Structures are given as structure tokens and as C-alpha cells.
């Protein structure tokens, strides 16, 4: 190979490396907290200092009987587990339904929505003036109480009306304040959304189980 061809080949290789580096940097930027991993809608990053350590996302051992890919919600602990291979699980802190609004049972994820629209149920519209303002539906966005993502839970093909979703109130994680749904900080629900395909089995344990 003569000098001219060698220089040309070297230039092409260098250009390829630069392009790959730029692509990697772009991907890194996209996956920083505070950005939506798909459509890049920005949202305020969660201040983890306000989240107790036991409710922050972490890998934990798992020795139960459920298959990898199963989602288990322990409402008493205020934890959601995504079962992994190798005897491990990802544990997330969650907020759960308050007394009288709690739900437990088996379900499947049959719908997934990015930045879901929120429509308050009629009983909430009646008791909450703020909800009444959105009786016809609130568009998805950082101020929406469903947060960045929602996974819709179905039983035998029918919508249970319960969701795994994000929140615009991260201080509610670890507490029983919702109308029955399971809420997560936006960073966590985005990751769960990416990991859990349609058809994922969800096990919601009742208090005391």
C-alpha cells in the first residue's frame, strides 16, 4: 500500500472512531437521570437524598419460586421486585394504595404507555377539586400524577384499572397514599418499562402475606 492509500485508510479509520465516540457520547447523554430515555422529554431528576436508602433501586438476592421476568409487589414492605436470572432481583421502592384502596392478586402487563394521559375516576372528581379540573383528562408530562410511564395490569384479558406508574410526587415513595396503583420514581419506572415486556406476570401481595 502506497503512502497516499495508507493516509486515506488511516483517515477513514479515524473518522469511524470519531463517529462511534460521538454516538456513544450521545447515548450517554440520553441515559442521564432527568431525561426520558426515548423521546427526550425532560423532567426534574429525583433528589435521592429525600428517598430513604431502603427505597432506592438496588440488586438483591432472590430465592423464591417465581421465574425471571416476574414482577412482585410486596405492599407491606413498599417494595417492587423484578426477578432476574442467577438468584437475583432488582428491588425498587414504591408507594402503595391507602387503606380502603388497596388491591392484591395476579395480573399481566397488557399495555405500556409513555407519558400516559391521566383521567381521574368519578369518585375522585367528586371529592377533590384539583382532580375535578382534569375530569376530561390531563395530558402526559412532568406534572401528570402518572409520571413518565405506566404499565397497565389485566386479569383474564380485562383491565383491572390498576397500574404500575411513575409519579410527580417522589416523596410519596414508601408510603400508602395512592388510590390503589403502585407508584415509582420516574427514573425507576422508565427502567422497569424498558425491562418488562408485554405479557409480564405481576404478583401483588396483600398486606400480611
Q: What is the pLDDT of residues 134-193, one digit of tens each?
A: 888 889 988 899 999 999 999 999 999 899 999 989 999 999 887 778 999 999 999 999
Residues linked to residue 72 through DSSP beta bridges, in sequence order: 81, 203
**pLDDT of res. 209:** 53
Residue 115 has pLDDT above 90, yes or no: yes
Secondary structure class of 195 (helix, strand, coil): helix
**pLDDT of res. 101:** 60
Buried b (16+ CB within 10 A) or exposed e, 157-195: eeebebbbbbbbebebbbebbbbbbbbbbbbbbbbbbee
* CA distance linking residue 190 with residue 194, whole number of Å: 6
Which range of 20-24, 49-53, 148-152 scores highest in mean pLDDT? It is: 148-152
**pLDDT of res. 154:** 98
Residue 6 has pLDDT above 70, yes or no: no
- What's the count of helices (H) and strands (E) in the chain, helices before strands? 4, 11
Question: What is the domain partition of the chain in residue ranges?
Answer: 1-30, 48-205
Architecture of the domain made up of 48-205: Beta Barrel (2.40)
| Residues annotated catalytic, as ranges | 165, 181
pLDDT band, residue 25 (cuts 50/70/90):
very low
pLDDT band, residue 39 (cuts 50/70/90):
low
Output the average pLDDT for the chain: 82
* CA distance linking residue 113 with residue 47, whole number of Å: 24
Q: What is the mean pLDDT of residues 97-101?
A: 64
User: In terms of pTM, does the model score above 0.85?
Assistant: no
Amino acid at each position: 500500500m502506497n503512502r497516499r492509500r495508507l493516509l486515506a485508510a488511516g483517515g477513514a479509520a479515524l473518522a469511524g472512531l470519531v463517529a462511534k465516540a460521538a454516538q456513544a457520547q450521545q447515548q450517554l447523554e440520553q441515559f442521564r437521570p432527568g431525561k426520558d430515555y426515548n423521546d427526550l422529554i425532560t423532567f426534574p431528576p429525583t433528589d435521592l437524598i429525600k428517598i430513604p436508602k431502603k427505597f432506592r433501586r438496588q440488586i438483591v438476592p432472590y430465592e423464591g419460586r417465581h421465574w425471571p421476568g416476574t414482577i412482585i409487589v410486596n405492599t407491606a414492605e413498599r417494595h417492587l421486585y423484578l426477578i432476574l436470572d442467577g438468584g437475583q432481583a432488582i428491588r425498587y421502592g414504591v408507594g402503595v394504595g391507602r387503606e380502603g384502596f388497596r388491591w392484591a392478586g395476579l395480573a399481566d402487563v397488557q399495555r405500556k404507555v409513555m407519558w400516559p394521559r391521566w383521567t381521574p375516576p368519578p369518585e375522585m372528581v367528586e371529592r377533590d377539586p384539583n382532580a375535578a379540573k382534569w375530569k376530561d383528562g390531563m395530558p402526559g408530562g412532568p406534572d401528570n400524577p402518572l409520571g413518565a410511564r405506566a404499565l397497565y395490569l389485566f386479569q383474564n384479558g380485562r383491565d383491572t384499572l390498576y397500574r404500575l406508574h411513575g409519579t410527580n410526587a417522589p416523596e410519596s415513595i414508601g408510603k400508602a397514599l395512592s388510590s390503589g396503583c403502585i407508584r415509582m420514581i420516574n427514573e425507576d419506572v422508565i427502567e422497569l418499562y424498558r425491562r418488562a415486556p408485554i405479557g409480564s406476570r405481576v404478583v401483588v401481595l396483600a398486606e400480611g402475606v
